[in-house]
Amino acid sequence: MAERPRLVWSVALPVPLPRRFDYRPTDGHTVGPDDVGRRVRVPLGKRELVGVIAAVGPPEREEAELKAALELLDDTPLLAGELFDSLRWLSRYLHAPLGEVFATALPTLLRHGEALPDTRSWGWRLTEAGREATLRPGRPREFATRLGAGTVGEAELDETAAGWRAAARTLAARGLAERVEVASADAALPAEPGPELNDEQRVAVDAIVAEHAGFAALLLDGVTGSGKTEVYLNAIADCLARGRQALVLVPEIGLTPQTLARFRARLGVPVHALHSGLSDGERARTWAACLRGQARVVVGTRSAVFLPLPQAGLVVVDEEHDGSYKQLDGLRYHARDFALVRAKALGVPVVLGSATPSLESLRNAELGRYHHLRLTHRAGLARPPRVRVLDVRKRALHAGLSNELLEAIDAALAADGQALVFKNRRGYAPVLLCHDCGWNAQCARCSTPTHGSPMTVHAHGRRLQCHHCGARRPAPNACPDCGGLALQPQGAGTERIEELLGERFPDVPVLRIDRGTTQRRDALEQHLAGFGSGRGILVGTQMLAKGHDLPNLTLVAVVGIDEGLFSADFRAPEKLAQLLIQVSGRAGRAQRSGQVLLQTHHPGHPLLHILLEGGYHAFAEAELAQREAAGFPPFGHLALLRAEAQRIELADAFLKRAREALELSEVQLHGPLPAPMPRRAGYQRLQLLVSAPDRPSLHAALDLAIPTLYETPEARRVRWSLDVDPVDL
């Protein structure tokens, strides 16, 4: 009789259950502590899944009942040390199954069980026999001649010798050529010097560098164009000189080829990029290169926060206030917050940079948890733009633009400058209205009797589209209710503004930038680069807040902010203030001075007033006082339980059940209440808000209640999710 193993693998699987699964090891394997963090392929029901060994120990149940794992996929732990521990922390913090956290952290190929990819660089050279052989004319001979002078890297061959692989195979089969590892082609690039730092930048760099021996959080609070990136570059150079790795997180829209080129040129080492535009293979290779310590600098978007950093020296989060750091579905993590956790676990400094820091970060700076570093003026010659409010009450508007604003555009163009018109609404018009009877086009899958969900007019009035569920249909020619022909698009989106500007300024290029024209990441950069520096007008949504520098942009016109002034979301003022400052920062980045016009029907609104009089920090201070009074973050702590179902009673029953479980703890509960979008794509949506004055009591309540919810019959009939620190309520 075979001896029974005393220890088993406790495996975290990517399934929505708050537990781990025990397996006997694969045949012949002796379970040991080194197994933790290695991937295994295991049976679960009728399926086969890839999971990560989370612990080893005696089985929880009778061993004889246990199935054996099918395959051990790694020779050494894939998730180890700090990363493993930080992910476990994240699982507890988000109250999410560990297997789902691991699955989110791993690149797709690794999650599916593929081997860690090869990240070495390879080249080809002739063997002894190859150097002496005389070859017949043909491809193999051409290839051999190419290798005559020594080893040639595969990257170079790919670029310069089409079809070389077949020739290489032929020669290798005859023992005439061989594949050898080579040093990475771009391992040592010349590093360009940067500008001489100004005093504030120097202070900031010194403060970061001084912390290199341990964890510290530094808030680099610097106006647009003040040279924050220069500060990062200097701090990273120091990190590299100490032989450590640096991770830089940037918002989705900030990772441009321009940014990467700047980092590469200045640091003199290869810079790895990680973003959603990469293939699965490239993502897995970057992950592996980080794990092996080959990648020294990585610039990446949200998910780059999960990269292994065995030799970490510095973490930077650029534009730390940016909303794209929070994942809004699946595992709802916040990359900035997790970057802080990782930096602490890694014992390295983390720099949070922004011209408009989040209220959370400002509060942490106020409390002394973060060093507060300030860059108060623009670097180089650029000066801050002049900002003016345009009161448009009772004024005639053309596609939402006032005459005064159009005249300002005219003046900017006449002075050979460029103008940017910012409107945070894409499409042609937000509503299609029947002027005879009042009918308007609503999305059938998103509206309810009490909550309308208008469809946006697109394609110059020919198409209707729902921005919530994606539904599309042709716009009707006649009113479906009264048969009248007086259907009129109401209001203006970017398409309509583009149309108007094209008519008004027929001899200058008008370029529209929104999700309709600019789906792909590099498209934004290409569009802006192609726009050139001559006269021209840009129209677009908040995509325009970032990207390619536009040195000839002298006028920024912001229209349609009024709805943002009166939103119910408690974060709306913060988001609006950040957006206004960021968009304004686009004006006058070079020698030419810039002007910003804010067009509004509410020129006396306190938000605009305080922002213009006192700037972002005065706004933030006032807003923090309001948050404190209301018990909102960063003073109170929130979690949001969402549920949706085709029948509202099911969602309601689930949240009532959750409420009962949470009522056992000392937390405040609000709901179940309709979600801000109470119906989307045919699903009825409710939510339950949990709030507590401090984190420990919030988490204690969730710890107690959430695990019990998984098994309830109500949970099986709804789609539900928990969002800790939600950003959209």
Residue span 479-518 as binding mask against Zn ion, x where in contact by CB under 5 A, dash where not: x-xx-x----------------------------------
- Is 482 annotated as ligand-binding? yes
Nearer CB in complex with Zn ion: 139/468: 468
Nearer CB in complex with Zn ion: 415/482: 482
Task: Quote the Cα angle for 581-584-589, to 5°.
Answer: 120
Q: Is 441 a residue that touches Zn ion (CB under 5 A)?
A: no
Distance CA 645, CA 675 (A): 12
Distance CA 97, CA 91 (A): 6
Tokens found for residue 290? 């980080």
- Is 239 annotated as ligand-binding? no
- Pick one of 445, 451, 504, 659: the residue that binds Zn ion (CB under 5 A): 445
Contact 207, 232 (CB under 8 A): no
Cis upstream peptide for 634 (omega within 30°): yes
Cis upstream peptide for 672 (omega within 30°): yes
Size of the site for Zn ion (CB under 5 A): 15
Residue 200 CB, shortest distance to ligand ADP, in Å, is 9
Q: Could you say which of Zn ion, ligand ADP, none residue 719 binds, taking C-beta under 5 to 8 angstroms by partner kind?
A: none
Binding site for ligand ADP (CB under 6 A): 195-198, 201, 222, 224-230, 379-380
Q: What is the largest CA-CA distance in the chain?
A: 93
Q: Could you say which of ligand ADP, Zn ion, none residue 234 binds, taking C-beta under 5 to 8 angstroms by partner kind?
A: none
- Is 434 annotated as ligand-binding? yes
Q: Could you say which of Zn ion, ligand ADP, none residue 446 binds, taking C-beta under 5 to 8 angstroms by partner kind?
A: Zn ion
Residue 256 CB, shortest distance to ligand ADP, in Å, is 12
Q: Could you say which of Zn ion, ligand ADP, none residue 226 binds, taking C-beta under 5 to 8 angstroms by partner kind?
A: ligand ADP
Residue 297 CB, shortest distance to ligand ADP, in Å, is 16
Residue 681 CB, shortest distance to Zn ion, in Å, is 6
Q: Could you say which of Zn ion, ligand ADP, none residue 225 binds, taking C-beta under 5 to 8 angstroms by partner kind?
A: ligand ADP
Nearer CB in complex with ligand ADP: 79/382: 382
Q: Could you say which of Zn ion, ligand ADP, none residue 469 binds, taking C-beta under 5 to 8 angstroms by partner kind?
A: Zn ion
Residue 540 CB, shortest distance to Zn ion, in Å, is 23
Nearer CB in complex with Zn ion: 204/466: 466
Which residues are CB-contacts of 437 (< 8 A; sequence separation ≥ 6)?
A: 479, 481, 482, 484
Is residue 537 helix, strand or coil?
A: strand
- Is 290 annotated as ligand-binding? no
Tokens found for residue 11? 């495996």
Q: Could you say which of Zn ion, ligand ADP, none residue 216 binds, taking C-beta under 5 to 8 angstroms by partner kind?
A: none
Q: Could you say which of ligand ADP, Zn ion, none residue 227 binds, taking C-beta under 5 to 8 angstroms by partner kind?
A: ligand ADP
HEC string of 235-299? HHHHHHHCCCEEEEECCHHHCCHHHHHHHHHHHCCCEEEECCCCCHHHHHHHHHHHHCCCCCEEE
Residue 375 CB, shortest distance to ligand ADP, in Å, is 7
| Interacting span for Zn ion (CB under 5 A) from 148-156, 341-349, 390-398, 465-473 | 465-473
Residue 528 CB, shortest distance to ligand ADP, in Å, is 15
Task: Quote the Cα angle for 484-487-489, to 5°.
Answer: 175
- Is 466 annotated as ligand-binding? yes
| Interacting span for Zn ion (CB under 5 A) from 18-26, 182-190, 348-356, 440-448 | 440-448
Q: Could you say which of ligand ADP, Zn ion, none residue 256 binds, taking C-beta under 5 to 8 angstroms by partner kind?
A: none
Nearer CB in complex with ligand ADP: 590/622: 590
Residue 486 CB, shortest distance to Zn ion, in Å, is 7
Element (H, E) at 708: helix 695-710
Contact 637, 597 (CB under 8 A): no
Residue 575 CB, shortest distance to ligand ADP, in Å, is 20
Which residue in 429, 425, 434, 426 sits closest to 488, CA to CA?
Answer: 434
Q: Could you say which of Zn ion, ligand ADP, none residue 210 binds, taking C-beta under 5 to 8 angstroms by partner kind?
A: none
Contact 420, 460 (CB under 8 A): no
Residue 249 CB, shortest distance to ligand ADP, in Å, is 14
Neighbours of 714 (CB within 10 A): 19
Tokens found for residue 89? 């922390």
- Pick one of 433, 443, 555, 705: the residue that binds Zn ion (CB under 5 A): 443
Residue 203 CB, shortest distance to ligand ADP, in Å, is 12
> How many helices, marked H, and strands, marked E, lie in the chain?
21, 32
Residue 499 CB, shortest distance to Zn ion, in Å, is 25
Nearer CB in complex with ligand ADP: 192/711: 192
Distance CA 342, CA 654 (A): 35
Nearer CB in complex with Zn ion: 439/635: 439
Give me the DSSP letters along 627-668.
HHHHT-TTTSEEEEEEEEESSHHHHHHHHHHHHHHHTTSS-E
| Interacting span for Zn ion (CB under 5 A) from 346-354, 478-486, 553-561, 563-571 | 478-486
| Interacting span for Zn ion (CB under 5 A) from 192-200, 442-450, 498-506, 509-517 | 442-450
Which residues are CB-contacts of 475 (< 8 A; sequence separation ≥ 6)?
A: 432, 441, 457, 461, 462, 463, 464, 487
Is residue 535 helix, strand or coil?
A: coil
Q: Could you say which of Zn ion, ligand ADP, none residue 436 binds, taking C-beta under 5 to 8 angstroms by partner kind?
A: Zn ion
Contact 635, 677 (CB under 8 A): no
Q: Is 677 a residue that touches Zn ion (CB under 5 A)?
A: no
322 HSE (CA, 13 A, CB side): 25
Nearer CB in complex with ligand ADP: 99/254: 254
Taking each helix axis as running N to C, give the angle between helix 695-710 and helix 648-662, from 0 to 180 degrees, rounded to the nearest 10. Answer: 130
Residue 471 CB, shortest distance to Zn ion, in Å, is 5
| CA distances for 464 relative to 347, 475, 495, angstroms | 53, 5, 13
- Pick one of 439, 570, 635, 710: the residue that binds Zn ion (CB under 5 A): 439
Neighbours of 626 (CB within 10 A): 12
Q: Strand locations in 466-594, DSSP E?
A: 472-474, 487-490, 510-513, 536-540, 553-559
Taking each helix axis as running N to C, give the angle between helix 139-146 and helix 164-173, from 0 to 180 degrees, rounded to the nearest 10. Answer: 90
Q: Could you say which of ligand ADP, Zn ion, none residue 380 binds, taking C-beta under 5 to 8 angstroms by partner kind?
A: ligand ADP
Distance CA 459, CA 449 (A): 28
Residue numbering of the annotated binding site: 434, 437, 443, 446, 466, 469, 479, 482
Q: Which residues are near Zn ion by CB under 5 A?
A: 434, 436-437, 439, 443, 445-446, 466, 468-469, 471, 479, 481-482, 484
Residue numbering of the annotated binding site for Zn(2+): 434, 437, 443, 446, 466, 469, 479, 482
